[in-house]
Copies of this chain bind each other. A is one copy, B any other.
Amino acid sequence: MGNYRIIEVKQSIFEDNNQDADRLRQQMKESKTFLINLMSSPGSGKTTTLTKLIAALKDDLRIGIMEADIDSDVDADTISRTGVKVIQLHTGGMCHLDADMTRQGVKQLEADNLDLVILENVGNLVCPAEFDTGAAMNMMILSVPEGHDKPLKYPLVFQVCDAMIINKIDVLPYFDFDMEKVREFARRRNPNLQIFPISAKTGEGVDALAAYLKDRITQWKK
């Protein structure tokens, strides 16, 4: 009974949220602000990856970052040191962001004047994937220590993403992580998934990722 009630409410929110997400997407298209929704588990290196990506992109693009967290400001503090515009979104215990929460952040960022906004979603491989935030693109990070079997266990996030970053490749020698298997498992969920192995720590692979994003943004603006 309890379960049934949850599912009902989820679906009615989905209907609302999907329409709302489309409205936000349209709005951001008009202001030519590309919104990326970045998802991952806790500890996969979202914040470190962002700082490296910002460094690689900030000469060409006006960037804003939205940090979503349940109730801390740890990451916003780190990101703000890169010099780009940052806001912190507190979800008040919620495990995901929906389009309306995202819109509130976009407004506060005054994103009309930005080329690229990246939303660092709550660290969670499950719930954020269920809610369309209105982003032009979904991207995820899977880190080497998490294991190559994750596409088998958390299928939805792999399905909804356009690109997957495989982070922490500098520690590949110390883990039983099979790069071929993770590609195979992930593409079984999503044949069009673009895959970028990087080390946010050493910077390896970040340029290829930055080039891909610049290219996508240019295509999208046309």
A: which residues have CB within 8 A of B?
1-3, 5-6, 9, 12-13, 16-17, 20, 41-43, 69-72, 74-75, 93-95, 98, 100-101, 122-127, 130, 143-147, 149-150, 152-156, 168, 170-171, 174-175
Using CB atoms, name the residue of chain B closest to A157: B42
Sample of 26 A–B contacts (CB below 8 Å): A1-B100, A2-B13, A2-B16, A5-B9, A6-B13, A6-B94, A41-B42, A41-B125, A42-B125, A42-B154, A43-B143, A43-B146, A43-B147, A69-B153, A70-B126, A70-B154, A71-B155, A75-B153, A93-B156, A122-B126, A123-B154, A143-B145, A144-B145, A145-B146, A145-B171, A170-B174
Check if B6 sits within 8 Å of A145, measured CB to CB.
Answer: no
* Known interface pairs A43-B147, A171-B171; A152-B72 also in contact (CB < 8 Å): yes
Using CB atoms, name the residue of chain B closest to A14: B2
Check if A42 sits within 8 Å of B127, measured CB to CB.
Answer: no
Check if A124 sits within 8 Å of B125, measured CB to CB.
Answer: yes
Using CB atoms, name the residue of chain B closest to A151: B72
A152 surroundings in chain B (CB, below 8 A): 72, 74
For the complex formed by this chain, how many copies does it contain in all?
A: 2
A168 surroundings in chain B (CB, below 8 A): 145
Q: How far is the CB of A97 from chain B (nearest CB, A)?
A: 10
Check if B150 sits within 8 Å of A43, measured CB to CB.
Answer: yes
Check if B43 sits within 8 Å of A94, measured CB to CB.
Answer: no
A74 surroundings in chain B (CB, below 8 A): 149, 152-153
A75 surroundings in chain B (CB, below 8 A): 153
Check if B123 sits within 8 Å of A125, measured CB to CB.
Answer: yes
A124 surroundings in chain B (CB, below 8 A): 95, 124-127
New A-B contacts (11) at CB < 8 Å, excluding given A3-B94, A6-B13, A127-B127: A2-B13, A5-B12, A5-B13, A6-B9, A42-B153, A70-B153, A74-B153, A124-B125, A126-B127, A170-B174, A171-B175
